[in-house]
Amino acid sequence: MSRSLIELENIKKIYCAGDEESATHALDGVSLEIKAGEFVAIMGPSGSGKSTLLHVLGFLDKQTSGNYYFYGKNNKNYSDEELAQVRNKDIGFIFQSFNLLPRTKVIDNVKLPLIYSGIKESEWNSLAEKAIESVGLLHRINHEPSQLSGGEQQRVAIARALVNQPHVIFADEPTGNLDSKSGEAIMEILQSLNENHEHTIILVTHETQTAKYAERIIRLKDGQIESDEKVAERYRKGNGTLK
Amino acid sequence: MKRSQNVIEKETEPLNNFMNLKYGLKNSLKNLGVNKSRSILTILGIVIGITSIILVMSIGRGAQDLILNQIQGMGSKAIILAPGKPPSSFTDSAAMLDSIMGDALKEREMEALLKKNNVPNVVNVIPIVFGNVTASYQSNTYRMMILGSTEDIINIYEVYPDIGNFFTEDDVVSKANVVVIGSKVKAELFGEDDAVGKIIKIKTKAFRVIGVLPSKGQGSLVNFDESAMAPYTTVQEGLLGIKYFQHLIAEVDDEKNTDQAVNDIKITLRNLHNITDPEKDDFNVQTQADMVKQVSTVTGVLTLFLASVAAISLLVGGVGIMNIMLVSVTERTREIGLRKAVGATGKDILTQFLLEATMLTSIGGFIGIFLGVVLGFTISIILTQVAKLDWGFSFPLGPALLGLGVAAFIGLIFGIYPARQASKKSPIEALRYE
């Protein structure tokens, strides 16, 4: 077997606010391994460093020390252009607050990653439509975010994350701003992506129900891994509810 | 593993994911449209700047053409002689006075210049005297300029009476008291009545009107509408009481001999006046080319000066652009973060904001050029219709292109700071911005 998709070695993230004594250790020596095709939930109370970890994993932030190997390549060796390319092609990111561009149609929001992909403009529409179809929003294609419900907005965000067909999808509290029913729908989409398309899914949540969609749960506390275990009773779509 | 090979392939692939320009332009236009009133106010500074530059340039060009046309109307074979040494500057009042009052040019000089062995290339010398006199007909009086010359003057100024005739060589030789009057003079003295054949009084002498000139409007070197022309032989001593000429115009046989003729004229006059030091010349010689050069320099400097005043408003407009782009960058921090999170490079963000700034100023530039041209054209029509000037309007292509270039350049210069600020933001910091 070759190397893992993601390998972390003693990752630390320290936020310095003035002198060293007041420095916050958001991540305090995290080491872990994630293989391609896994569905991992990162859990922990607020301030545990779970979002910081996801940002480092998703190339939105850089660790203060330690090594992060993505496909075997240390993230310190990426140039700014290469980082942009990884964010564009290899990963998709879903945010708690959706982060859709206001006053911009659904289709144009989904097209956003394509603009920076080098893919020919003539292919943008069909690729974006395909991604929107996979989240079941074709009928909303010309709507603007303000005309959509929270659940629909998050589905647009998922379509945007999918449009460049990345291997890995990172989700930062994807159901955090949604009612439970919309949240379930989002998690079902993520789970089906993991099963049907072999996307690796790494999500951060503080909700136990949400985490049960994953096959593996990593718990963080004070910037360190508290536990890392397989989900015993994984919730699967169509297998009843968790209420 | 299959995927890791994929990644390695990707790394060797050239980084050609630079944002596509067509999208960039569309996107910039859309973003400017979102804040319409703000964009409009921002470009107003640029519009005013470019408009005033175009306007100043086109009016400057019009004025220059007008003056140059008249100088060129005299024909390139004309050499103008005036008494007094050449004025060293426009404030050299002693030399200026000399050129009007000086008596260095008389019949003797004219005859000397006409001699083939002195100046072989000169075919004709036309004397000019002028002064202000009062003319009267019955109870009407009018103060006008009287211009005395020979019949050949019509070849120089291209003025022909549309009623009656011009005076002839015989009139000059016989010192006939005949006069050709301008349209304004005719209207003031005769009203609607016929003038030709009537006797008018100029000073105390009686002159017979033999022709009336058509209205030429203002803006000529000589305002013929308010002038009268008569043989110099009657005007010089009889009306003005002088024994010299204010100007002599020498006509050269061929344009290419002008320089030679100027030289010969100078030598002839210096010999005649016993001048050995050219610094002490009591006359000056100007060719049409000299005058064109002088006028072009003066109007060019003036136009440049006015344009640079107008350029200051462009600068102010540029600062406005920078200000609004900074606001825009701050407002759209989250958008910048998101774009970076989905794969935009710093260069992409820089390009986006530079495009927006450049587009703002270019739109301002286009509107400014349009307004400038429309205003310039309107002014040229007003000057032609109301002031009766022969004012030609030409589209100032050079200044227009320059204005557009300057506008775009200002967008680049004043956009680069905000755009750099935007491009340097780290994605997660930008996304967290509230």
Number of H helices, E strands in chain A: 7, 10
pLDDT in tens, A19-55: 667 788 899 999 999 999 999 999 999 889 999 999 9
Mean pLDDT in residue range B392-417? 82
* Smallest CA–CA distance from A84 into chain B, residue: B343
pLDDT band at B421 (very low <50, low <70, confident <90, very high): confident
Structural domain of A181: 39-48+80-230
Higher pLDDT among residues A74 and B292, named by residue? A74
CB-CB neighbors (< 8 A) of A3 in chain B: 1, 4
User: Does A127 have pLDDT greater than 90?
Assistant: yes
Please state the domain count of chain B.
2
Contact between B42 and B320 (Cβ < 8 Å): yes
Amino acid, single-letter form, for residue B328: S
Q: Specify if B9 maps to a domain.
A: no
Three-class SS of residue B168? Answer: coil
Q: Specify if A221 maps to a domain.
A: yes
* Euclidean distance between CA atoms A219 and A222, whole angstroms: 10
Chain centroid to CA A229: 20
CB-CB neighbors (< 8 A) of A36 in chain B: 1, 3
Residues 99-118 (A) with a CB less than 8 A from some CB of B = 99, 101, 103, 112-113, 115-118
Q: Specify if A188 maps to a domain.
A: yes
Q: Specify if B270 maps to a domain.
A: no
Residues B232, B346, single domain; the answer is: no
Strands B205-212 and B78-83: unpaired
* Euclidean distance between CA atoms B54 and B230, whole angstroms: 45
**Mean pLDDT taken over chain B:** 83
Out of A72, A80, A85, name the one closest to residue B346 (CB). A80
* Smallest CA–CA distance from A200 into chain B, residue: B3
CB atoms closer than 10 angstroms to residue A83 = 18
Q: Output the pLDDT for position B420.
A: 87
Q: Specify if A75 maps to a domain.
A: no
Q: What percent of chain B has pLDDT over 90?
A: 22
Residues B215, B311, single domain; the answer is: no
Residues 132-191 (A) with a CB less than 8 A from some CB of B = 160, 164, 167
Out of A1, A85, A113, name the one closest to residue B15 (CB). A85
User: Does A91 have pLDDT greater than 50?
Assistant: yes
A22 phi and psi, to 5 degrees? -85, 5
Residues B64, B131, single domain; the answer is: no
Q: Specify if A24 maps to a domain.
A: no
A30 phi and psi, to 5 degrees? -100, 130
Mean pLDDT in residue range B198-218? 87
Q: Specify if B163 maps to a domain.
A: yes
Which site among A35, A55, A60, A61 would you substitute to test the B interface, given the most B Cβ atoms closer than 10 Å to its Cβ? A60
Q: Specify if A6 maps to a domain.
A: no
Residues B325, B214, single domain; the answer is: no
Q: Output the pLDDT for position A197.
A: 64
pLDDT in tens, A168-219: 999 999 999 999 999 999 999 999 889 876 799 999 999 988 998 999 999 9
Poorest-confidence range of A234-238, B39-43, B339-343, B429-433?
A234-238
Q: What percent of chain B has pLDDT over 70?
A: 90
CB-CB neighbors (< 8 A) of A157 in chain B: none
Higher pLDDT among residues B341 and B220, named by residue? B341
The pTM of the whole model exceeds 0.80:
no
Q: Specify if A15 maps to a domain.
A: no
User: Does B222 have pLDDT greater than 90?
Assistant: no
Q: Specify if B205 maps to a domain.
A: yes
Tell me: ipTM over 0.90: yes
Q: Specify if A86 maps to a domain.
A: yes
Amino acid, single-letter form, for residue B141: T
Q: In angstroms, what is the C-alpha Rg of chain B?
A: 34
Closest CA to A86 of B6, B404, B425: B6
Chain centroid to CA A78: 20
Higher pLDDT among residues B8 and B316, named by residue? B316
Test A89 with B1 for CB contact under 8 angstroms. no
Q: Output the pLDDT for position A15.
A: 87
pLDDT band at B97 (very low <50, low <70, confident <90, very high): low
User: Does B205 have pLDDT greater than 50?
Assistant: yes
User: Does B13 have pLDDT greater than 70?
Assistant: no
Tokens for A148?
């959509």
CA atoms in the 13 A half-sphere facing the CB of B236 = 19
Residues of B with CB under 8 A from a CB of A: 1, 3-4, 7, 10-11, 15-20, 22-23, 34, 334-335, 337-346, 348, 426-428, 431
Please state the domain count of chain A.
1
Contact between A156 and A145 (Cβ < 8 Å): yes
Poorest-confidence range of B20-24, B272-276, B401-405?
B20-24
Q: Output the pLDDT for position B319.
A: 84
| Ranges A32-36, B218-222, B411-415, most confident | A32-36
* Euclidean distance between CA atoms B188 and B137, whole angstroms: 9
Test B4 with A103 for CB contact under 8 angstroms. no
User: Does A241 have pLDDT greater than 70?
Assistant: no
User: Does A134 have pLDDT greater than 80?
Assistant: yes
DSSP 8-state secondary structure symbol assigned to residue B213:
P
Three-class SS of residue B11? Answer: helix
Residues B209, B124, single domain; the answer is: yes
Test A5 with B3 for CB contact under 8 angstroms. yes
CB atoms closer than 10 angstroms to residue B394 = 12
Q: Output the pLDDT for position A242.
A: 41
Instruction: Please give the helix or strand (H or E) that residue A132 lies within, else none.
Output: helix A121-134
Q: Specify if A74 maps to a domain.
A: no
Test A85 with B10 for CB contact under 8 angstroms. yes
In degrees, rounded to 5, the angle at the alpha carbon of residue A213 between the alpha carbons of residues A208 and A215 is 105
Q: Output the pLDDT for position B5.
A: 40
Mean pLDDT in residue range B67-73? 77
Q: Specify if B33 maps to a domain.
A: yes
* Euclidean distance between CA atoms A220 and A43, whole angstroms: 6
Closest approach of A241 to chain B, Cα-based (Å): 34
Which of B252, B280, B309 is the last residue in one of the domains? B252
Contact between B390 and B72 (Cβ < 8 Å): no
Q: Output the pLDDT for position B221.
A: 63
Mean pLDDT in residue range B209-235? 83
Closest approach of B303 to chain A, Cα-based (Å): 47
User: Does B8 have pLDDT greater than 50?
Assistant: no
Q: Specify if B334 maps to a domain.
A: yes
Out of A55, A113, A115, name the one closest to residue B23 (CB). A115
CB-CB neighbors (< 8 A) of A87 in chain B: 340-343, 427
Which site among A54, A59, A116 would you substitute to test the B interface, given the most B Cβ atoms closer than 10 Å to its Cβ? A116
Three-class SS of residue B181? Answer: strand
Q: What percent of chain A has pLDDT over 70?
A: 94
Q: Output the pLDDT for position A108.
A: 94
In the block, residue with structure tokens 């319409």: B36
Contact between B375 and B282 (Cβ < 8 Å): no
Q: Specify if B85 maps to a domain.
A: no
* Euclidean distance between CA atoms A56 and B54, whole angstroms: 55
Residues B337, B391, single domain; the answer is: yes
pLDDT in tens, B164-180: 999 999 999 999 999 99
How far lies B109's CA from each of B27, B153, B236, B269, in Å?
77, 18, 16, 7
In the block, residue with structure tokens 């630390």: A12
* Euclidean distance between CA atoms B175 and B169, whole angstroms: 10
Out of A3, A84, A88, name the one closest to residue B4 (CB). A3
**Please, what sign has the CA dihedral across residues A59, A61, A62, A67?**
negative
Higher pLDDT among residues B428 and A160, named by residue? A160
CB-CB neighbors (< 8 A) of A60 in chain B: 341, 426-428, 431
pLDDT in tens, B101-158: 677 888 888 888 888 888 898 888 999 999 999 999 999 999 999 999 999 888 777 7
* Smallest CA–CA distance from B335 into chain A, residue: A101
Structural domain of B211: 120-252
Higher pLDDT among residues B101 and B279, named by residue? B279
User: Does B59 have pLDDT greater than 70?
Assistant: yes
Which of B252, B269, B303 is the last residue in one of the domains? B252
Test B22 with A121 for CB contact under 8 angstroms. yes
Out of A3, A88, A167, name the one closest to residue B343 (CB). A88
pLDDT in tens, B299-345: 888 888 888 888 887 888 888 888 888 888 888 888 999 999 999 99
Residues in a beta bridge with A91: A168
Q: Output the pLDDT for position B10.
A: 40
Instruction: Please give the helix or strand (H or E) that residue A15 lies within, else none.
Output: strand A6-15
In the block, residue with structure tokens 């647009």: A156
Residues B239, B127, single domain; the answer is: yes
Three-class SS of residue B274? Answer: coil
CB-CB neighbors (< 8 A) of A167 in chain B: 3
Out of B16, B23, B335, name the one closest to residue A101 (CB). B335
How far lies B94's CA from each of B97, B106, B130, B167, B348, in Å?
5, 20, 20, 36, 68
Contact between B251 and B78 (Cβ < 8 Å): yes
CATH number at residue A169: 3.40.50.300
Test B17 with A85 for CB contact under 8 angstroms. yes
